[in-house]
Amino acid sequence: MANPKGELLERTLREGLGKADFKTKMTGPEHEPNFHTEVIVGGRVVGIGEGTTKKSAEKRAAEAAILYLNETDNLTNLPSEDANDEPFDGPYPVFQRVLAETLRVANARVDAKLKGEMATEQVRDLALKLYKETLLGLGEVVEDVD
């Protein structure tokens, strides 16, 4: 895609989904920044992206959002928050592309100097956190707090 952000903005407006909102945060030192972007459509996170520039993070997030919308047709196919009165009590569902993206993001965020078991644990823990947050943001699951 030559301009995924523009394509996403046009598509969401054309399909009556409202304007796609890009929320970008910078982490890391100023000389080596890392940008994390979430694309929000209809109050739901539909794409995330990481990059060393804001533009690259937004591009990746827009690409992920377009893939997501292609798979779901549009946001009207998503379950509403009150579609199921029963709280989620099973394991988190596995969405392969979302899981792959969260693993990629986690791997990019973990300090490259870490090796072995320490690196594996940090990637695993961060990927799990990102995956759960993404699913919760999409309204797919409800966290059961004891």
Q: pLDDT per residue over 72-124, tens digit each?
A: 654 554 443 344 444 444 566 677 777 778 878 877 787 777 777 787 888 88
Q: Which residues fall within 8 angstroms of residue 5, CB to CB, at 6 or more apart? A: 22, 58, 59, 62
Highest mean pLDDT among 25-29, 86-90, 130-134: 25-29
Q: Out of 3.20.20.70, 3.40.50.1220, 3.30.160.20, 3.40.50.11540, which CATH number does the structure's domain 1-77 have?
A: 3.30.160.20
Nearest to 139 by CA among 92, 81, 99, 93: 81
pLDDT tens digits along 50-74: 999 999 999 999 998 888 888 765 4
Give the strands of the sheet with 34-41, arranged side by side: 21-27, 34-41, 44-51
Q: Where do the domains of the chain lie?
A: 1-77, 79-146
